């Protein structure tokens, strides 16, 4: 009975798959195929003659022999491998793109830092030049002020010297004018006093009568006998 049902079922499966390619047959859905075979078995008089009633048919799978199955699986494996390769390539491409983006970002950051550093150096140079110019201007102003002060001091000193010279000249002229009306004896006495003031200090001086006579004669303009 089992053999008979197996043969009948195989025949109806073959009839159901007739006209399909091997790939289409292997890819056929087992549910609808089982329903079709069950209807055929219930209508088959050979089954009813056995006294059996077919309630349902379940087909687990439709498979070819081992060699054909491997041959049929090859495109699927190749497609799966191709999909896997494509996924790997996409992942690698995405990783490369990310690395490129990171490198570009780092390069942009370095360029930005270099630009800022250049601007900072330029600003520091400008500030240094400005400070140097200000220091030079201040030094020039200080030098000019010093020169002007020295010039003023020189002029003041020259003016004071000139004024002092004029005053001394006027005093000397007045003194000479005063001496013009003084007698010769008085002038001799004054000259002697001036001469004595220029002599060094003498601790002890001995005056003889002869020396005193000669001095008085010079003062009076008469020499003694």
224/84 Cα distance (integer angstroms): 157
Q: With a threshold of 0.75, does the pTM exceed it?
A: no
- Its domain, for residue 54, covers 1-63
Q: 46, 54 in Cβ contact below 8 A? A: no
Residue 134, judged by CB atoms within 10 A of its CB (0-12, 13-18, 19+), counts as exposed
- Contact predicate 33/53, CB 8 Å: no
Whether residue 56 is found in the same domain as residue 86: no
- Does one domain contain both 78 and 142? yes
Identify whether residues 112 and 170 lie together within a single domain.
yes
Binned at pLDDT 50, 70 and 90, residue 151 comes out as: confident
Residue 143: pLDDT above 80?
yes
In Å, what is the CA distance from 73 to each residue of 28, 46, 84?
15, 38, 16
Same-domain pairing of 108 and 32: no
Instruction: Give yes or no: residues 171 and 81 share one domain.
Output: yes
Query: Are 34 and 53 within one domain?
Result: yes
CA distance 185 to 220: 6
Give per-residue pLDDT as tens, 113-127.
999 888 888 888 888
**102 and 162 part of one domain:** yes
Shared-domain flag, residues 72 and 159: yes
The answer to whether residues 112 and 7 belong to one domain is: no
Shared domain for 72 and 176, answered yes or no, is yes
Please count the structural domains in the chain: 3
By the 8 A CB rule, do 16 and 37 touch?
Answer: yes
Report whether 34 contacts 59 (CB < 8 A).
Answer: yes
Considering the domain architecture, whether residues 72 and 12 belong to the same structural domain is answered as no
Same domain, 156 and 214: no
State the Cα–Cα distance between residues 132 and 225, nearest whole angstrom. Answer: 92
């Amino acid at each position: 009975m089992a053999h008979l049902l197996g043969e009948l079922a195989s025949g109806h499966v073959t009839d159901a798959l007739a006209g399909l390619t091997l790939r289409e047959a292997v890819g056929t859905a087992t549910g609808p195929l089982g329903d079709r075979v069950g209807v055929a078995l219930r209508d088959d008089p050979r089954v009813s003659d056995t006294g059996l009633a077919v309630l349902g048919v379940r087909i687990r799978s439709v498979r070819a022999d081992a060699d054909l199955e491997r041959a049929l699986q090859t495109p699927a494996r190749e497609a799966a491998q191709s999909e896997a390769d494509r996924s790997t390539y996409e992942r690698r491409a995405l990783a490369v793109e990310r690395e490129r983006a990171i490198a570009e970002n780092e390069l942009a950051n370095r360029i930005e830092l270099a630009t800022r550093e250049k601007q900072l150096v330029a600003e520091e140079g400008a500030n240094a030049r400005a400070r140097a110019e200000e220091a030079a201007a201040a030094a020039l102003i200080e030098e000019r002020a010093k020169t002007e002060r020295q010039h003023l001091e020189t002029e003041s000193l020259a003016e004071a010297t000139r004024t002092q010279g004029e005053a001394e000249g006027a005093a000397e002229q007045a003194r000479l004018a005063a001496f013009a009306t003084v007698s010769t004896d008085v002038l001799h006495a004054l000259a002697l006093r001036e001469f004595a003031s220029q002599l060094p200090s003498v601790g002890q001086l001995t005056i003889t009568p002869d020396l005193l006579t000669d001095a008085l004669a010079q003062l009076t303009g008469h020499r003694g006998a």
